Amino acid sequence: MSVIYRTSDSEAVRRARPLSQVVAIGGGSGLPVVLAGLRRSLPADCGITAVVTAADDGGSSGTLREQYDVLPPGDIRNCLLALSRVAPEVSAALQYRFDGLPGPGHPVGNLLLAALEMVTPDEVTAIRLAAGLLRVEDVILPATTTRVQLVAELADGREVRGESTIPRSAAPIARLRVDPPGARAAHDVLRALERADAIILGPGSLYTSILAALVVPGILETVLATPATRIFVCNLMTEPGETDGYGVAAHVAALAAHGLPPEALDYVVVNTARIPAKALARHSVDGTAATPVQADFTSAGRPCVVSTDLLDDSLMVLHAHDKLGPLLARLALGRPEDHGEARPGVALTRGA
C-alpha cells in the first residue's frame, strides 16, 4: 500500500536513536495485548513500562481494595502475566478464580498481589516482587499509589463517583477527574514518561482505563512535555455506558476535552478489518449494544492515521498482539511505511 506520513527534522533526529524505553498507559483487557505484542517485537534491550489505572473498584479488585486497603490488583495481575516467562500452567493457576464464597471470586494472582502489598514496605515493591516471581524483566507501575476514586461529570449535570458505577449512569460523560484532588502520579511513573522514546495510549476503556490514568495529576502534563512519539490505539468496539455511538473522531475528541489535543499525537491507529458476524454476536451475548467503532477521524496534518487489519483471528473481538505489537514497534521508530497505510486526513471531526 502507498504510505504518506510526516516527520519533522527534530523527530527524524530523535527517531534515529535506537529505542530504549516504551511506556504504555491504560488497563483492562487492552493493555496486556499491547504489552505482549511489544515484548515480542521490540529489541530485548528496549524496556517497557506499563502505567496501569489505579481506580478500579469493581469485582474482586474492588472487594480486596475495600477490605484490605490495597491497590486494585486485577489489571496489574493481567499485565504481569502478559509479560511473564513462566510455564503456562503457572499463568493459568494465577488466573484461577475461587468461586463459591460470598462476594466475587478472587483470582489467585489478585490474592498474591494483595498479600505481597500487605507484607512489603510499599505497593511498588510488592509489584516488583511479583514480577520477579514471574520472571518479568519489564516494569509495571500503578498510575498513583493514592487510593483514588474516579469521578465523572455527566452531560446532564450530574456527578457520578466510582469506576464501576460510571458506565451505568445512563448519560454521556463530559469530564473525568480523580478524588482526592491531592492525588499525584507515582514518582517512578513520571520518571518513566520523561525518559520514554514512545508513549502508547490504548486500546482499552476510554474513560475508565485510559483517561482514568491520564487524569491523575502529573501524568498528562508529563506526556505533553516529553519529546516521545505519542500513539493512540483506538478500540475495536464501542462500550455501552461509556462510548455509545462513538467513532474514532469522538474518541480523539474525548482525549482533547481532557487536555490532550489531536496535534499532540503523532499517530492514531485504526483497525480496518471487518468484524465477523459470529464474533459480534458473541461479543453482544449479554445483550449490550456495542457496535464496531467507525473510522471517521481525519486530520489536516498531525496526527497521521494508521489504518490496517489488527483483528484477532479468534471469535473474540480483540486486537491481535501479533499484529499490533510489530506495528507499534515500527511506529515508535517512525517507520509506518513498513506496515499498512498511514495517511494524514482532511479535517478533524470534533464532538462526542
Q: Same domain, yes or no, for 175 and 256?
A: yes
Q: Is residue 180 part of a domain?
A: yes
Q: Same domain, yes or no, for 176 and 229?
A: yes
Q: Same domain, yes or no, for 67 and 114?
A: yes
pLDDT for the residue 11: 44
Q: Is residue 73 part of a domain?
A: yes
What is the C-alpha R_g of the chain? 19
Q: Same domain, yes or no, for 44 and 61?
A: no
Of 108, 142, 176, the last residue of a domain is: 142
Q: Is residue 3 part of a domain?
A: no
pTM score of the predicted model: 0.91
Q: How far apart are CA 238 and CA 64, in angstroms?
A: 29
Q: Specify the number of domains making up the chain.
A: 2
Q: Is residue 4 part of a domain?
A: no
The CATH number linked to 18 is 3.40.50.10680
CB 206 within 8 A of CB 27: no
Q: Same domain, yes or no, for 312 and 228?
A: yes
Q: Same domain, yes or no, for 34 and 86?
A: no
pLDDT for the residue 20: 96
Of 82, 114, 142, the last residue of a domain is: 142
pLDDT for the residue 135: 98
Q: How far apart are CA 76 and CA 110, in angstroms?
A: 9
Q: Is residue 351 part of a domain?
A: no
Q: Write out the chain's pLDDT in tens, 352 residues.
A: 223 343 343 344 344 457 999 999 999 999 999 999 999 999 999 999 999 999 999 999 999 999 999 999 999 999 999 999 999 999 999 999 987 666 678 999 999 999 999 999 999 999 999 999 999 999 999 999 999 999 999 999 999 999 999 999 999 999 999 999 999 999 999 999 999 999 999 999 999 999 999 999 999 999 999 999 999 999 999 999 999 999 999 999 999 999 999 999 999 999 999 999 888 887 764 556 799 999 999 988 899 999 999 999 988 899 999 999 999 999 998 876 655 455 554 333 322 2
Strands 139-142 and 47-52: parallel
pLDDT for the residue 288: 64
The pair phi, psi for residue 47, each rounded to 5°, is: -80, 150
Of 84, 108, 142, the last residue of a domain is: 142
What lies within 8 Å, CB to CB, of 244 at 6+ separation is: 172, 238, 289
Q: Same domain, yes or no, for 104 and 231?
A: no
Q: Same domain, yes or no, for 33 and 163?
A: yes
Query: Cβ-count burial of 246 within 10 angstroms (0-12 exposed, 13-18 middle, 19+ buried)?
Result: buried
Q: Same domain, yes or no, for 126 and 236?
A: no
Which position has the grid cell 462500550?
239
Q: Same domain, yes or no, for 269 and 160?
A: yes
Q: Same domain, yes or no, for 236 and 295?
A: yes
Helices (H), 123-268: 123-133, 187-195, 212-214, 219-225, 248-257
Cell of 287: 445483550
Q: Is residue 350 part of a domain?
A: no
Domain that holds residue 184: 9-55+145-343
Q: Is residue 348 part of a domain?
A: no
pLDDT for the residue 338: 59
Q: Is residue 219 part of a domain?
A: yes
pLDDT for the residue 17: 55
pLDDT for the residue 279: 86
pLDDT for the residue 80: 98
Phi-psi region of 234 (alpha: psi -120 to 50; beta: other; left: phi over 0): beta
The pair phi, psi for residue 81, each rounded to 5°, is: -70, -30
Q: Same domain, yes or no, for 157 and 294?
A: yes
pLDDT for the residue 342: 56
pLDDT for the residue 55: 97
pLDDT for the residue 319: 97
